[in-house]
Homo-oligomer: A and B are copies of this chain.
């Protein structure tokens, strides 16, 4: 399976083509729509005021409710656009956005309106593609869950067991410990009040992947496959498996996961490896954490320059922006993980 996302924030439509979808899957479009709703803004005061009526239209690949195996194209029309908000910034790239790098890469032909193809809005088709992947995985009793693990230094409590994530999925603010969630929301609202933004992290688990998928080699190892999908999500700057950066504080005797054989099969007592040894799944849940940078769009004045003259210029970004994209990124990370899991499984 292979996905191609297309579209720009202020173009006529955004969408995705999924090639290699298994045939004869009863596609539940309501579930696709439900995933898009999880990502939609406006459900929590911490999110942007933009209203994104993301309704997905299937253009191809489905017949009489089932996937045909032909490329599956899903499209979302663009509607709520305020292009004028952006015109002012055409020649003054926003710090830490893709504006400048994109301007160079496009040889000046960048669609700058609303971030163009770099917009976080492009994660909507990714969520739609991931929703299809989740349904394919569900047929094999594999599911993907996640929680917000950190925002601006406020950490959710540690996860005892990935099974806990099932209860988190339906929450408006998906954390294990709601008190911690409330602290996180306060941190976001404070940043918003100060015209600033905050970063955070999401911990994700893929449950039910059998042992033996992947390989140590380039292009086939599980961590490498997942990371390629995860870094394709805008704002992701770190991908950590299992104990992750914590390994550099550990000894082998702590880090190693002792085997245990139970009725359910071979497992390990701990899961510091995050379900992967030697690039291959070991049957334990695949667990990883991604860090997302603070939204670069802040209202505070910032230092930029004029792309035409090279002269310094101070900018202030108008428009409606999420002071923290982490809450809305939760279904996006799950979508990327679901697509990665399909690749690992050879789907």
Residue pair B294, A250 in contact (C-beta under 8 Å): yes
Instruction: Identify which of B97, B150, B252 contacts A277 (C-beta below 8 A).
Output: B97
A216, B98: Cβ atoms under 8 Å?
Answer: yes
Kindly report how many copies of this chain are found in the complex they form together: 4
Find the B residue at minimum CB distance from A265: B310
A247 touching B237 by the CB < 8 A rule? Answer: yes
Contacting B at CB under 8 A, from A304-328, are 304-305, 310-312
Is the CB–CB distance between A255 and B96 below 8 Å? yes
**Residues in B neighbouring A17, C-beta threshold 8 A:** 4, 6, 17
| 30 A-B residue pairs with CB within 8 Å | A4-B19, A6-B73, A11-B60, A23-B105, A23-B107, A24-B108, A68-B117, A70-B111, A70-B215, A71-B217, A102-B216, A102-B278, A102-B280, A104-B280, A105-B211, A105-B212, A118-B216, A199-B251, A216-B234, A223-B236, A224-B231, A240-B240, A244-B291, A245-B245, A247-B291, A250-B294, A252-B294, A255-B296, A261-B305, A261-B311
Q: Point out the residues of chain B lying under 8 angstroms from A11, CB to CB.
A: 59-60
Check A160 for interface membership: any CB of B closer than 8 A.
no
The CA of A220 and the CA of B232, in the complex, are separated in Å by: 8
**Quick check: A8 and B60 within 8 Å, CB to CB?**
yes
- Nearest to A129 among chain B residues (CB) is B218
- Contact flags (1/0) for A49-86 with B, using CB distance below 8 Å? 00000000101110110111111110100000000000
Scoring A13, A20, A248, A280 by chain B CB atoms within 10 A of each residue's CB, the highest score goes to A248
